[in-house]
Amino acid sequence: MKPITLLPALRAAHPTPRHLALAAALMLSTWAAAQPAAQPDCDLRIASGPSGKVYELVVRDIQAVCGTTVSVCSAPSEGGLKNVTMLSANEAELGLVQVDTLKEMSKGDENIRSLQAVMPLHANLLHIITASEGSLVGAKEFRGIRVPGTGEVVVLRKFSQLKGMTIAAVGSAQLMGQTLERELGYGMKMVVADTDDKALEMLRNGQVQAVFTLGGWPLPSVSRLKGGAGVQLADFDLEPREPYLTVKRNYQNLDAFNLTFLGVPNLLVSRPFKAGGAQANKVAALQSCIRRHLDDLQEGRFLSVWKEIKDPTRTFGVTAVPTSAKLVAK
């Protein structure tokens, strides 16, 4: 039996220094790949979201204006649901989270219930994506096989048309979808999708009739879609209840103008730290810095979501972090 080798060059009976160096480099790279990812090295880790989505971009803006005041870094996650878990497990000092997610998860976790509000942020909008040519609805199956000639193709343009539909929900949209189903009794079935791309793939393959994904406007993954991609945005046509709200926005790339979205406010929250301690002072310094630079964030070359903040002291009923008069006055 011939020996199995990773590098053909090592078959030589007398390896040269070059061969040994190659082998050492290979073993080093294999060892490095097996090591856990290093934690960000900074004063305050902020649990954010997937790379390129609005949560992560908000943290980039905070770094840009306040990075010299307090060292902050983004701790990537899948979004708000994961962020509160990371805070509860001490894997981050601060995090971005929707108000409804925070209040719902506070019911069963004292660590989450003790989180404190640092800043109100933008509203996350529920983006309802459907197939522009319609989806097959009501098809019958026999032993897991679709019966030909059954069902009908329906073009879904409004949320109220989703009764009985199967929805691919991404991230925090899973909790919002479950909340809406509990309140409305539409008979919607929520299927978990890890990413927007996977959810859209499920929609195009006919596995679901709609996609729920949440994020600030404009949501990068939606802005990248083209009119010829076979998808469209559906209108939210119901009256919301607090903490939800409705706003009108445009996505020119999908020919969606003056469309109504269901929204929910976000908060930047912190773990509770000892009053007057080093960590509490860093959080207070960051809060003060963001407030001082709010005009810059709203008027400069930063995300448009900063313009949604009207009252930087609003907490939506969540306990506010203690502030230091000395730090705020700087």
Q: Distance between CA atoms of 91 and 193, rounded to whole angstroms?
A: 24
* DSSP state, residue 235: B
* Per-residue confidence (pLDDT) for residue 141, from 0 to 100: 73
Identify whether residues 138 and 153 lie together within a single domain: yes
> Which residue range(s) make up the domain with 98?
44-123+266-328
Identify whether residues 234 and 271 lie together within a single domain: no
Report the number of distinct structural domains present in the chain.
Answer: 2
Identify whether residues 149 and 214 lie together within a single domain: yes
pLDDT in tens, 106-159: 998 899 999 999 999 999 999 999 999 999 887 777 776 777 777 799 999 999
What tokens appear for 151 in the block?
């069902």
Which is more confidently placed, 7 or 168? 168
Identify whether residues 96 and 146 lie together within a single domain: no
Q: Is 315 left (phi over 0), alpha (psi -120 to 50) or beta?
A: alpha
Q: Write down the H helix ranges in the chain.
A: 17-34, 54-66, 80-88, 99-106, 110-113, 173-184, 196-204, 220-223, 278-292, 294-299, 325-328
Residue pair 289/66 in contact (Cβ under 8 Å)? The answer is yes
Where among 220, 239, 264 does a domain terminate? 264
pLDDT in tens, 186-211: 999 999 999 999 999 999 999 999 99
Which is more confidently placed, 39 or 302? 302
What angle do helix axes 278-292 and 54-66 make, rounded to 10 degrees?
90
Where among 241, 264, 287 does a domain terminate? 264
Identify whether residues 286 and 229 lie together within a single domain: no
SS3 of residue 295 by DSSP: helix
Is 8's pLDDT higher than 80?
no
- In a domain, residue 4? The reply is no
pLDDT in tens, 245-261: 999 999 999 999 999 99
- In a domain, residue 315? The reply is yes
Could you tell me the pTM of the whole model?
0.79
The number of beta carbons lying within 10 Å of the beta carbon of residue 229 is 14
- In a domain, residue 104? The reply is yes
Identify whether residues 278 and 251 lie together within a single domain: no
Identify whether residues 140 and 224 lie together within a single domain: yes
The domain that holds 173 is classified in CATH as 3.40.190.10
- In a domain, residue 286? The reply is yes
Which is more confidently placed, 155 or 9? 155
Identify whether residues 191 and 253 lie together within a single domain: yes
